[in-house]
Structure 1
Amino acid sequence: MEDLIFFGFLVLVLSPFSSATLRIPSNAKLPSLQAEKLIRELNLFPKQSINIVDHVNNGSASIGPKIVERRFKFPNLADPSVSHEDLGHHAGYYNIQHSHAARMFYFFFESRNSKSDPVVIWLTGGPGCSSELAMFYENGPFNIANNLSLVWNEYGWDKVSNLLYVDQPTGTGFSYSSDKRDIRHNEAGVSDDLYDFLQAFFEEHPQFAKNDFYITGESYAGHYIPAFASRVHQGNKAKEGIHINLKGFAIGNGLTNPAIQYKAYTDYALDMGIIKKSDYDRINKVLPVCETAIKLCGTDGTISCVASYFVCNTIFNSIMTLAGDTNYYDIRKKCEGDLCYDFSNLENFLNQKSVRASLGVEDIEFVSCSPTVYQAMLVDWMRNLEVGIPALLEDGVKLLVYAGEYDLICNWLGNSRWVHSMEWAGQKEFVASPEVPFEVDASEAGLFKSHGPLSFLKVHDAGHMVPMDQPKAALEMLKRWTHGSLSGATAEPENLVSSM
């Protein structure tokens, strides 16, 4: 009842500020429209809204009590000289132990350098978008050519790590369940599933269990990653299962602390010339209501969290009304109609019969981005995931927050502000630490500051997807950070690119 009263209160408070550019937009009433807009902007058209299957078939996806995995070679690899035996490439499913019927799909690429390299897991955001988006367009071993052949990515993160991509939450990508109760609505459910996935993975691949382990990802993974890191750390402390050698976690252009990041939208938009000072003043009138809504979400977390999503996104939507066809993932670019990026080759490639056969997914649909998962996570959207990070830092787990400077939706300014305002033992020293150039090939690729386990990097000439926009700098970032220093003191840039 209190939630309904609060929602009514928000409507009343917001009404004086309504204008042509400051109102809850019509599509805010239907989160499915917002999710579908997100998907169309990437030129993706999944056949299903989520992978909840009515029955489990007799295909390879259902064989075995625990795991279905196979070594594979993509049939469209443009380099015929590489044999199946040369590739440490694995794909398959794990049953998620504490779910009702969830099976999580993943790709695992052994390092092109050394099996002793760190194990790095990548989580794509959305929420509800498959990690194959990053695998083929950002930092995976391959890029998809226009003729749907695969070419080696010169800057794939498997050059310096054993690289793991997971389709999550359940229902995303090739992951599926036959029970709707496996649809997740919060970070507790998401991180428990990922922890169960890791336990199954390291049980099957014990030779990698002692390697250093890092969690990475971008966008809404700014929620997933801290929660998952805390879950792994908790499992290690409680000796729940296989010990996971968690060394650090990295968030790229993420949404982590909404109260601070939503407040930064108008500042960033004004600084970048997207809005005028009069627009800035008008839109900022919603900020106190947004802040109040987020506080109530943090204490009660049900309908008030959904209400805060609608209220606070009025700020972003008002900016975008003024920005017109500006691509909010990269404000240097324009969107043409609904299309901001063309990632359609992802679906075209993975829907080929030869590819599906090589992966063993049989008739499981590929859901590139799931509007159902997006809607299910609305109650989670405005939660502050920064709160669990100080305990990790103080136990020596490293955090890297990096952000491309031309992204609006998870902009570097908001990320920098929450990182600087986070209270932990080293906060004072971090804030006082100097900002220094991040140099790649003797050129400034960004600016960073570090103290102890915490680092923040602003990446030049990049938008929301840093590994896509600046692949060489992103690879060098990962290499240096996992080796101990973004300064490059321990890195070997001349060996960055090696031949197969």
Structure 2
Amino acid sequence: MAQINLSLFLLLVLLSPSCSFSKIQVPSDRYNQAETLIRELNLFPKESENIVDKDPFLATEAAGIFEKRFVFPNLENSSVTIEDLGHHAGYYKIKHSHAARLFYFFFESRSSKDDPVVIWLSGGPGCSSELALFYENGPFSVSKNLSLVPNQYGWDKVSNLIYVDQPTGTGFSYSSDRRDLCHSETCVSDDLYDFIQAFFEEHPELLKNDFYITGESYAGHYIPAFAARVHKGNKGKEGLRINLKGFAIGNGLTDPKIQYPAYTDYALDMGLISKSDHDLINKLLPVCEVAINLCGTDGKISCMAAYLVCNSIFTAIRARAGADINHYDIRKKCVGRLCYDFSDMEKMLNMRSVKQALGVEDIEFVSCSTTVYQGMLVDWMRNSEVGIPALLEDGIKLLVYAGEYDLICNWLGNSRWVQAMEWSGQKEFVASPEIPFEVNGSEAGLLRSHGSLSFLKVRDAGHMVPMDQPKAALEMLKRWIGGTLSQQTTETENLVASI
């Protein structure tokens, strides 16, 4: 009761007009924040989440995987056939859910079926992984006429690649029961674990392959939780043993207690705010830290208090840096409230011909879900780093990478939590030198690594590294899964894309 009262007190103090922090803009509407996030990506889903009245697949597939091979009808090369491509789309009826089905894409490796299996998770929370598929590292990119063109730097060049719409209610994933909406990483990771078990049952030929978990942004929460869940399942012999080798987090939110104080330091270093702004906004840090500590031991009220208190730091920085700044890439400006234009993907995936090819019936594609976003707010300020050391000790690799021009999940905060993480190799990692990450004769970033842990600051990239630096991102993945991340290539081609 005392902790709950303190949480309420923090909220009242912060939101009080007479508070000394009153000059600092404080967010107070959760729905508006979710709506703003989605509109800044130029996405306008008709529905706030995919909760359907009736399950369209119930009569044909009560449980397990429902998967089909397909070809997108809008490929520029219309002569491509299903036999030419190992492309699959499907639904998985989540084993321990009430009525939830996760939608996924699976693209067989262009090189070899023996390549690792890589799963990608997008953040939000509540944004579809198709954002990465069509704008970052998938086999195709969407053109303005809604046709698909091949992506020569798709990660399916070196891996068997899976994209999942998760948590439930995101993308084409849906349920007919609102109880299936997630509010914690336990829910998210259990659903993903059930999915990956079913996936390998459907594709037993891939079970021997190395398995890697990747993603970005709020997936900095999902990825460690999912990796820990797979590791736990392996140790407990719960089902099929999955050959988990590593996990990679790109520009993620993982340890808020360390990452939020880095906002003002990063903003000052990059010239977004003045020293006086920096010092004023930093007065919120002690309150933020207390709120995060309460969130780690208490329930929903303290976690919501922490979300509101700590995000006022970010809001204040944006207010001073300018309303038109793109907080995903500070080199760029937003046009009005639209920082990126991902609307072509949304239009394309809601085309009837595309839906028929994918076998999604009449399910409406929800690019980013406001309901899923709000449902996960009680999880936002929790520390997802806590389970990582045990994975590192067991030899499971972690790569944390971050584009240098991202504000919202900036490289400085990510570097700090990685260095502060306590594990047997911590001192050696912190003492290890930063070396150039050279790709085909050009410096693409700075790399620090020791044992199972690597941190890469990526040059000339913002929040979405594979979109801004597709060549370097593909080379990063290839060398990381091959155990040669710190080695240099010998070709002369410059892999750092021009700004």
Give the shorter-chain TM-score range: over 0.9
Structure 1 distance, partners of 2:493, 2:463, is: 27
1:141 to 121, 139, 142: 139
**Separation of aligned partners in 2, 1:141 and 1:463:** 21
- Alignment partner, residue 400 of structure 2: 401
**2:165 corresponds to which residue?**
167
2:195 is the alignment partner of 1:192? no
Deviation readout 1:387-443 (Å, 9 max, x if unpaired): 100000000000000000000000000000000010000001000111000111201
Kindly report which structure 2 residues correspond to 1:126-275, keeping only aligned pairs within 5 A, or say none.
Answer: 126-275=124-273
Instruction: Give me the TM-score of the superposition, normalised by structure 1.
Output: 0.96
Gaps of 5+ in 2: none
Q: What's 1:18 paired with?
A: 21
Report if aligned partners of 1:3, 1:303 keep a CA contact under 8 Å in 2.
no
Quick check: 1:59–1:362 contact (8 Å CA) kept in 2?
A: no
Alignment-mate amino acid for residue 19 of structure 1: S
Separation (CA, whole Å) in 1 of partners of 2:363 and 2:78: 28
SS at match of 2:6: helix
Larger helix fraction of residues: 1
Given that 1:185 and 1:380 are in contact with CA atoms closer than 8 Å, whether structure 2 keeps it comes out as yes
Residue in structure 1 matched with residue 308 of structure 2 by the alignment: 310
Maintained 8 Å contact 1:202/1:209: yes
The 1:176/1:494 distance shift into structure 2, 3 A limit, reads: farther
Relative distance call for 1:91 and 1:58 in structure 2 (3 A) is closer
Bigger drift between 472-481 and 9-18 goes to 9-18
Q: Following the alignment from structure 1 to structure 2, what is the Cα–Cα distance between the partners of residues 496 and 101?
A: 49
Determine what percentage of the aligned residue pairs are the same residue: 73
8 Å contact kept, 1:260–1:417: yes
CA contact (8 A) 2:440 2:494 kept: no
Amino acid at match of 1:157: W
| Match in the other structure for 2:413 | 414
Structure 1 residue 29 displacement after superposition:
2.5
Q: Which residue of 2 aligns with 1:279?
A: 277
Contact 2:295 2:302 in 1 (8 A): yes
Distance 1:12 1:121, change over 3 A: same
Distance 2:490 2:358 in 1: 35
The equivalences for 1:281-360 within 5 A come to: 281-324=279-322, 325-360=324-359
Change beyond 3 A, Cα 1:492–1:135: farther
Structure 1 residues 85 and 111: alpha-carbon distance in aligned structure 2, compared to 1, 3 A threshold: same
User: Do the aligned residues in 2 keep the contact of 1:476 with 1:493 (CA within 8 Å)?
Assistant: no
Distance in 2 of aligned mates of 1:494 and 1:111:
26
Amino acid at match of 1:17: S
CA deviation digits over 1:141-184, x for unaligned, max 9?
00011111110001000000000000000010000111111000
After superposition, the Cα gap between the structure-2 partners of 1:496 and 1:150, relative to the gap in structure 1 and judged at 3 Å, is farther
* 1:29 alignment partner, SS class: coil
Write the distance in 2 (CA, Å) between the matches of 1:47 and 1:493: 48
2:245 is paired with a residue whose SS is strand
Change (3 A) 1:285 1:65: closer
SS state of the match for residue 260, structure 2? helix
Aligned residue-pair number: 491
Query: What secondary structure is seen at the aligned counterpart in 1 of 2:195?
Result: helix
Residue 5 of structure 1: aligned partner: 5
Q: Which letter does structure 2 place at the counterpart of 1:197?
A: F
**What's the offset of the Cα at 1:49?**
0.5
Q: Any idea what the Cα deviations from partners look like across 1:289-308, whole Å, max 9, x if unmatched?
A: 00000000001132100110
Matched, 1:433 2:436: no
Shift of 1:492: 7.9
Structure 2: distance between partners of 1:398 and 1:139:
21
SS of 1:386's partner is coil
CA separation of 1:204 and 1:488: change in aligned 2, threshold 3 A: same
Alpha-carbon distance, 1:13 to partner: 4.2
Deviations 1:39-63 (A, max 9, x none): 1011111111011111123689x53
Residue pair 2:441, 2:492 contacting (<8 A) in 1 also: no
Alignment check: 8 A CA contact 1:93 1:104 kept: yes
The counterpart of 1:116, out of the listed 111, 114, 117, is: 114
In 2 relative to 1, CA 408–82 (structure 1 residues): closer, same or farther, beyond 3 Å?
Answer: same
1:19 Cα offset (Å): 3.3
Measure, in 2, the Cα distance between the counterparts of 1:373 and 1:58. Answer: 22
**Equivalences for residues 451-470 of structure 1 within 5 A:** 451-470=450-469
Deviations along 1:178-203, one digit per CA (max 9) or x if unpaired, are 11110000000000000000011000
Q: 1:118-147 CA deviation, whole Å, 9 max, x = no partner?
A: 000000000000000000000000001111
Provide the C-alpha distance between the structure 2 equivalents of 1:411 and 1:30, rounded to a whole number of angstroms. 24
Report deviation, 1:86. 1.2
- 2:362 corresponding residue in structure 1: 363
> What is the DSSP-based 3-state SS (H/G/I as helix, E as strand, rest coil) of the residue aligned with 1:90?
strand
Letter in 1 for 2:10: L
Provide the secondary structure at the position in 2 that maps to 1:273. Answer: coil
Q: CA deviation at 1:18?
A: 2.3
Displacement of 1:8 after TM fit? 3.2
Deviation, 1:495, is: 11
- The 3 A distance-change label for structure 1 pair 122 and 495 is farther
Q: Could you tell me whether the CA contact under 8 Å between 2:170 and 2:369 is conserved in 1?
A: yes
Contact 1:13 1:289 survives alignment (8 Å): no
Output the amino acid matched with 2:463: H
CA positional deviation for 1:4: 4.6
Cα distance change of structure 1 residues 200 and 267 upon mapping to structure 2, 3 Å threshold? same
Q: 1: CA distance between counterparts of 2:454 and 2:215?
A: 16
Indicate conservation of the 8 Å contact 1:17/1:285, yes or no: no
- Give the aligned partner of residue 479 of structure 2: 480
Name stretches of at least 5 consecutive residues in structure 1 with no aligned partner: none
Q: Which residue of 1 aligns with 2:374?
A: 375
CA deviation after TM superposition for structure 1 residue 82, in Å = 2.7
Amino acid at match of 1:365: E
What TM-score does the superposition give when structure 2 sets the normalisation length?
Answer: 0.96
